[in-house]
Amino acid sequence: MGFDFNVILSKQDELISGIAMTIFVWVVGTFAAALIGFIIATARRYGGVIVDKALTVPIEVIRGTPFLVQLFLLYFGGPYIGLSLDALPAGLIALSIYGAAYFAEIFRAGYQSVPPGHVEAAECLGFTRVQVIRNILLPEMALLVIPPSVNMAIILLKETALLSLITVPEMTMTASAIGSQEYAFVEAMVLIALVYWVLVELAGVLGRFAEKKLSRYRLAKA
């Protein structure tokens, strides 16, 4: 037996569209997850005890169950409660909600890291709540929030592979299909494993770069 990567590479157009789809769902899913997570964390900070406690439950449920089960529940169970979604929107929604639960915790830790004195000082100067968030909280927590956010983005990239199981034509599904047609499944999987690996390393490099750029915001030791 021998491994022949040429049969896979001859299908490069399909592969590239699969890779593009993976990058698309990854980027859109991660930004949506970060945005929803930020909104949740903000609601928990300013919404009072009841909102805070009420939001703990869905966060813990999502963090405590496998993404695959959540995905199947939404995609296959959704139509039974009038929520018929195509594979791509279902995958994007599931990915965003899953990521949001983790991002909510990242931003919560970020909010907690900002010294209360800074917020109080800004309030005394007449900053509105939005101004406090934008000018004090966000810049001060940025440096702390970036490493776990990059980590989460990397986790979400790897979770996008599961969307192949609900037939989103991303790279795992494309490569599986090509691999089966051409009797070169192993080659196809090795190839996309390398693509994922490169993307993960790239995300890590970008994260470290952002961290470096933002290091001017580092808090002085109090």
Partner 1 sequence: MSWKLFNLLLEASLMTIFVSSVSILIGLFLAILLSAANLSGIRPLQWFAKFFISFFRGTPLLVQLLLLYNLLPVIGVQIPSLVTAIIGLSICTAAYQAENLRGGFEGVPTGLVESADMAGFTPVQTFFHIRVPIALRLTLPALINEAILILKASSLVSVVGLIELTRMAQNLVASTFMPLEIYASAGLIYLVINLVVATAGRQLERRLPGVGGK
- How far is the C-alpha of 130 from the C-alpha of 31, rounded, in Å? 21
Q: Note whether 66 binds partner 1 by CB under 8 A.
A: yes
Q: Find the DSSP H helices in 82-137.
A: 87-113, 116-124, 129-131
Residue 191: how many CB atoms within 10 A of its CB? 18
Q: Note whether 73 binds partner 1 by CB under 8 A.
A: yes
- How far is the C-alpha of 120 from the C-alpha of 141, rounded, in Å? 16
* Closer of 30 and 70 to partner 1 (Cβ): 70
**What residues from 162 to 201 belong to the interface with partner 1 (CB under 8 A)?**
162, 164-165, 172, 176, 179, 185-186, 189-190, 192-193, 196-197, 200-201
Q: How far is the CB of 198 from partner 1 (least distance, A)?
A: 8
Using CB under 8 A, which of 53, 134, 158, 218 touches partner 1? 158
- How far is the C-alpha of 186 from the C-alpha of 177, rounded, in Å? 12
Q: Note whether 161 binds partner 1 by CB under 8 A.
A: yes
Q: How many residues bind partner 1 (CB under 8 A)?
A: 37
Query: What distances in angstroms separate CA 189 from CA 22, 100, 141, one per listed residue?
Result: 15, 29, 39
Which residues would be at the binding site for partner 1 (CB under 8 A)? 1, 60-61, 64-70, 72-73, 76-77, 80-81, 157-162, 164-165, 172, 176, 179, 185-186, 189-190, 192-193, 196-197, 200-201
